[in-house]
A and B are shown apart, each in its own frame.
Chain A
């Protein structure tokens, strides 16, 4: 299945079109968008054989793209000093809501019981929610999460590729998992015993 992605120019072409549209919207610059899409596709398709399904491959390619876009916007922001909706501010806010100042769960945010969670794996709607939650992660978090959990890369390889320290990686993965868990509970598993 994974090999056939390369043998299916129509799929790649459609994917490229969707990426270009998304990147152009985000960056308001066709040339920058084309560069980002090109780089993201080359980077992402190196690991294409980790993916049996096309939906997951698409999510992965878009995660790389969002990350590239964020890099470019961050650079732009530094140059023109415009305010922009980048991940840092957002993240602290969402993150600190989970715990109180002493690091204990805020009552509303404490994990609830999930009833037979893996039974949901057979439900197509669950995977839509899973995808939505993945795409809701800040770009860098989703990228390292997917490198770790989809491509199954080890710490060292991720740190080298992304250019971050081991402790940075631990922080990003911790936040990604907290957020993803929270999102799945809110959008899918909620309603269990408090």
Chain B
């Protein structure tokens, strides 16, 4: 009954009369293509969910590729380092949710909590700004193993973090948070394909246009010590993807990507 009402509500919103269809003219399309558009970076959750739905990839244990322990020798000194790291941990959280690994996800959530206390926005710890509620409800859902809900909580937390960066005009932190999330999500995806190669499905790894957007974002960030290293990584990935044939990657190319992305572990 409840489901019927929810479905009906959605249908009522979704139902639209096509009688008044007034589509874009070719001239309008052209203008839009040439004009400025706002680019939204997808989350690692989108990617993880897409991989989960692919039957050819069933059996891959995505959590195998995630190291929940933080190397004590790693220092996240600057706010930018922390934002990048936070993005990467968010990606880990998504993949652990897909892998239904509650113990590792709890560990990652704790790490996210700690990092949130160390990132300061307008002289306040980010955790205090966004509140404890999000993290607590995430923990509750993880413990209850309500995986669909866990994904939603992670997405909400990610959105809140991004919103606070935006509100405080911390564009560089917002961008690095996205870049960290993308690199880590992509690394995990590549590791998955490296362990279970499926040629036609490698098209999901050919994210050339997205890498170009991330590269542009990274270039716009001033005085960041790891910028050169990350740009080199993105450029190298872009080069390999440029060699793709028929929108797929060979096993050797996936192996190359895997080796390249190994270096990302040192700065994420």
Chain B associates with chain A:
no
List residues of chain A with CB under 8 Å of any chain B CB. Answer: none
